[in-house]
Structure 1
Amino acid sequence: MNLRSFQLSDVHAVSAIWKMTASQQKEQETLKMLSKQLGCDRDLVLVAEMDGQVVGAIVGTMDGSCGYFYCLAVHPDYQGRGIGRRLAVVLEERLRSKGVKRIEVMVDEGTEKLKPFYEHLGYFSICSDAMEKGWVFQPAETQVG
């Protein structure tokens, strides 16, 4: 597996993966997020390739010393092979190299199936309000005690 920064030629493959793994509304929001991030920092948009085919993607952003994960998706035929985990780990490394001290992940109704995945990576819920539309996760090593 090869992980690398997003290239413009990846847009159709990544969009196709998002269409398979997200609702149409979420896919449109994701494309907007992708476009915005590519204008800021292309190094925080990663793709995973296997045999020359794009099989996964993740978009990261940052605001000061806080980093965010968006749009993690792996082609359904390639799920369960550690691709999502590798994308998340490499994005964490890139965010930390840019000075990020805290990483958060928004999980909403379209991506709530990823909650156990992020918990497995050491993230934990910091929202307790039942009215929240999502959960925010941060790496366990940054928990405030």
Structure 2
Amino acid sequence: MRIRTFQLSDYRSVAELLQVSLSEECCEETMAALAKQLSWDSELVLIAEREDSIIGAMIGTIDRNQGYVYRIAVHPDHRGEGVARTMLAMMSQRFRQRNVFKIQIAGDKHNEVLRPFYQSLADHPIDFVTLSKPLAIMAI
């Protein structure tokens, strides 16, 4: 598995991944947040690929020196293989390169179901936080 930065040519594949991985409402919110984050900083949108297929995506952002993981999506056929854990480690590294040392999870209703996963990551200090506004509508 390879983790890399999102490229424009990934857009269609990522949209398809989000459709099969997330609820319809979550997918719509995530697509809007993806567009916003890409306009700010595409280095914080990660792609997991295996054999030229995109199997995971993660959207991170930094706001006021705080690092946030907005969304993780892993294709249902590849869950339980460490994809999310590997992407989170890479995101953590990218945050550290920018002097952001604590990862926070955007604690919306869609991420709440992933709380046990995040709590299982003893090697990463993670807090759930409620954003004042969804990432898709936050101002720069």
Write the distance in 1 (CA, Å) between the matches of 2:111 and 2:22: 8
Q: How is 1:1-145 mapped onto 2 (pairs within 5 angstroms)?
A: 1-122=1-122, 123=125, 135-136=128-129
1:53–1:124 CA distance, 2 compared to 1 (3 A)? closer
Which of structures 1 and 2 has the bigger CA Rg? 1
Task: Report the aligned-residue RMSD.
Answer: 1.7
Q: CA deviation at 1:21?
A: 2.1
The structure whose RCO (Cα within 8 Å, separation 6+) is larger is 2
**Could you report, residue by residue, the CA deviation over 1:17-47 in whole angstroms, capped at 9, with x for unpaired residues?**
2112222221111111111111111110000
Is the contact made by 2:3 and 2:87 (CA closer than 8 Å) also made in structure 1? yes
Percent same amino acid among aligned pairs?
38
Does the Cα contact within 8 Å between 2:66 and 2:104 map onto a contact in 1?
yes
**Equivalent residue pairs, number:** 128
Where 1:118 maps in the other structure, the secondary structure is helix
Question: Taking structure 1 as the reference length, what is the TM-score of the superposition?
Answer: 0.81
Report how far residue 9 of structure 1 moved: 1.1
The alignment's TM-score, normalised by the length of structure 2, stands at 0.84
